[in-house]
Amino acid sequence: MLSGGILNWLSGDQHLMALMAHNWLLGVLAVATIVFLETGLVVLPFLPGDSLLFATGAFLGLNGISPLAPICIVALAAVLGDGLNYCIGGSALGRQVLSRGWIKPRHVRVTKDYFERYGAPTITIGRFVPVVRTIAPFMAGLSGMLARRFALFNVLGAAIWSPLFLLAGHQLGGIHWVGTHLGLLSAGVIGLSLLPVAWHLAARFGFSRG
């Protein structure tokens, strides 16, 4: 029950926004921790990275807080998370995780589709796709991608992803409608992020039918 309560807390943004209202820096550090866990542990692809960053940016904008420090903190967490996941994928533990089926096969298939289509830049592109951003660094480590090549696309992805969602929320958060419908917009961000996954699954299904 304790673990379930912790996971529920991590997968929603209401508690984090309350924490941020009390102490914005502590709240940003909590957000960065969630980003690190989502990207660093291959078994936690469900954590709300995109919507959480948007909501965090909106909170910062509504309270007149500069987004510069939060962007740096979250980007660093994203880089470190991907780095940890890459190391896990390249270790004996990674092979054990895969052989025991701790990663859903459909998640692995979707990520392999991205690697087949984009190659190493999947590490950057996948940053914007839920599930893929969690599985991609793991698969990169598992496949033996060169560490320097992985690091390049890892840093590039974090440097684009973090400011994009935080600044979007920061700029739009001052709009009254956005502030009063933040939950709806966060859900919309998740939906838009899932579109590439849905498109790949649909393409795969259509190909198999043909």
Predicted confidence (pLDDT) per residue in 122-133, tens digit? 999 888 887 888
Which among 11, 72, 5 is positioned nearest to 45, based on CA atoms?
A: 11
Angle between helices 14-22 and 49-62 (to 10 degrees): 30
Residue 210's pLDDT band, with cuts at 50, 70 and 90, is very low
Range of weakest confidence among 81-95, 152-166, 192-206: 192-206
Share of the chain above pLDDT 70, in %: 70
Structure pTM? 0.75
Whether the CB-CB separation of 57 and 49 falls below 8 Å is answered with no
Give me the residue label for tokens 């009254």: 176
Instruction: Report the distance separating Cα 15 and Cα 36, nearest Å.
Output: 18
Tens of pLDDT, residues 137-191: 999 998 889 999 999 999 999 999 999 889 988 887 666 555 555 555 555 555 5
**How many domains does the chain fold into?**
1
- pLDDT value of position 194: 53
Annotate 123-162 with b (16+ C-beta within 10 A) or e (fewer): bbbbbbbbbbbbbbbbbbbbeebeeeebbebbbebbbebb
Range of weakest confidence among 37-51, 52-66, 95-109: 37-51
DSSP 8-state secondary structure symbol assigned to residue 128: G
- Pick the more confident residue, 14 or 162: 162
Domain that holds residue 54: 2-39+46-209
Cα–Cα separations (whole angstroms), residue 79 to 11, 50, 122, 196:
20, 15, 15, 22
Residue 22 has pLDDT above 70, yes or no: yes
Residue 198's pLDDT band, with cuts at 50, 70 and 90, is low
Tens of pLDDT, residues 33-44: 989 988 888 766
